[in-house]
Amino acid sequence: MTDRFAFHYAPDGYSTAGPRLMGRQAAGARRYSLCGITHTTASHAVMTSLAHPLVAPARSWDAVICTSRVVRDSVRRVLERQAEYLGAQRFELPQLPLIPLGVHAADFDIEGARRDTVLPCIVSDWNGYRDTVRDGVDGYRIPTVMPDAGAGLDLAQRYDDGADSYDAYCGHTSQAVALDGAALAQACARLAGDAGLRRELGENGRQRVRAEFGWAVVFERYRALWRELDERRRADAQLGPALPAAVPDRLDPFELFASYPSMRITPTAMVELAPDASLALLRQYRELAINRFAHASLPTLEEFGQIFGAIGSRPMQVDELLDALGPCDRPTLLRGLAWLCKMDLLRIGAAEE
């Protein structure tokens, strides 16, 4: 992996994809790609995360790796419903590549062991098993059935209201999913009575593991995807206007609270040192327990000294002070002026008429 990618794994119940998409804006949308991988997709946190690309600045050079075709269908359904909910006519989506979860292929290497110890699989025809086990080739997939859409709106509402836990939600849903018992019995009987069939299907499965699901194979598919996303970052057109660096629900706190104070420190505001202000007193206040935690967000002692030296004994406007300081971190110095006022080492007044 290179520093052009931020890889995000979203297990059930936890996801930070939305904040990561928003946080990238400050660095620049084309600086790197975000690439995630699905696992369980039914918890509230993950479903919200999957819907978030329509309101967060996801780009075509981002990707959500789907581990099976049915998971990809679920992700698409969430995105489609979110688009309908928002009334979105045009939006940009991440790529949804299909790459399976990897396994340690060496664990299936039976050289020197009996061939009939590699047993074929009997699985439900459900979720990723459909992509993993080839019916009649590596094992058998047993058909499943469940109600059509519309039969679980009350279950979704109970889960959303908190009446049901995630486990209860999955449990109620699972109660309405049935397996073909007769087909299961037939598959078991067929394999139990035919050692040659067991060896054939088991060996097919072993070879498929090595060819399709070993980590070396899967990771190379990740690398191919990252190369594609890298190219997309360079070449894909941006569908809409550039978005601002600050996202709506992650505002600068001094914008968020702009109406709270009686006065704000504007470029024309006047500043002057308090009569008893000194660097010695500043050092003393700076080391108080109530202030020590904030060292990282305030000017250094050297920068405070430069502020003292630039102001001297006469009042001056904030923009004049900043010009006198030369190249500087303006936000940090503005916070420093407010902190000096908080410590009664600086006076801040409105602009002179």
The single-letter DSSP state of residue 210 is I
Query: How many helices and strands, by DSSP H and E, does the chain display?
Result: 15, 10
pLDDT tens digits, 284-300: 999 999 999 999 999 99
pLDDT surpassing 60 at residue 336: yes
**pLDDT band at residue 117 under the 50/70/90 scheme:** low
Q: Are 335 and 298 in contact (CB under 8 A)?
A: yes
Q: Are 66 and 87 in contact (CB under 8 A)?
A: no
Phi and psi for 326 in degrees, rounded to 5? Answer: 75, -160
pLDDT tens digits, 152-185: 999 999 999 999 999 999 999 999 999 999 999 9
Q: Which among 35-44, 78-87, 189-198, 244-253 has the top mean pLDDT?
A: 189-198
pLDDT surpassing 60 at residue 342: yes
pLDDT the model gives residue 12: 37
Q: Using alpha carbons, select from 44, 11, 39 the residue that is nearest to residue 169.
A: 44
Q: How many CB atoms lie within 10 A of CB 89?
A: 6
pLDDT the model gives residue 14: 34
Taking the chain, what is the end-to-end CA distance rounded to the nearest angstrom? 59
Q: Using alpha carbons, select from 140, 248, 251 the residue that is nearest to residue 192.
A: 140
Express as a percent the part of the chain with pLDDT over 70.
86
